[in-house]
Amino acid sequence: MANIENQKFIAPDISGKNYLSWILDVKLHLSAKKLRHTIDEDNAVSNEERATALIFLRHHINDDLKYEYLTVENPLELCQNLNDKFEHLKVVVLPNALNDWSQLRFQDFKTVSEYNSTLFKIVS
């Protein structure tokens, strides 16, 4: 059990609510592990790199999504499938976040922590 790697960030929700921040985290972590090219188009990836990236991705997705994409054996294909599933969020979430951001006023909150909480919610 000591060899099991802990999750480094929150897995995407089955609804895709946190997909945009998750994919950014994935790209950053794969870059740090020198495996970012495994999820880029037109790449020459060894089987070992492909397997390592796929293990990392499967370890950091929701169990329901893991079962949905159980047969996918390529990290690029897995990322593309998830992107296809949750791509619509950019169209829905971004305008709402921009609207919330434009209406955010410090004077509407009783404490700084309430303001910070709302601010971080909009940013995420």
Let me know if residue 37 belongs to a domain.
Answer: yes
In the 3-class helix/strand/coil scheme, how is 55-79 assigned residue by residue? HHHHHCCCHHHHHHCCCCCCHHHHH
Distance CA 88, CA 64 (A): 19
Residues 62-84: pLDDT tens digits?
888 888 888 998 999 999 998 88
* Alpha-carbon torsion angle 72, 89, 20, 30, nearest 10: 30
Please give the tally of structural domains in the chain. 1
Query: Does residue 5 lie within any of the structural domains?
Result: no
- The verdict on residue 50 lying in a domain is yes
In a domain, 6, yes or no: no
Strands (E), 10-120: none
Which is more confidently placed, 66 or 8? 66
Q: Give tens-digit pLDDT for 90-102.
A: 777 778 888 888 8
The answer to whether position 102 is within a domain reads: yes
Does residue 10 lie in a domain region? no
Tokens of 88: 């619509």
Mean pLDDT (the chain) is 83
Its pTM stands at 0.66
Asked if the structure places residue 39 within a domain, the reply is yes
Would you say residue 112 lies in a domain? yes
Domain range for 34 is 18-123
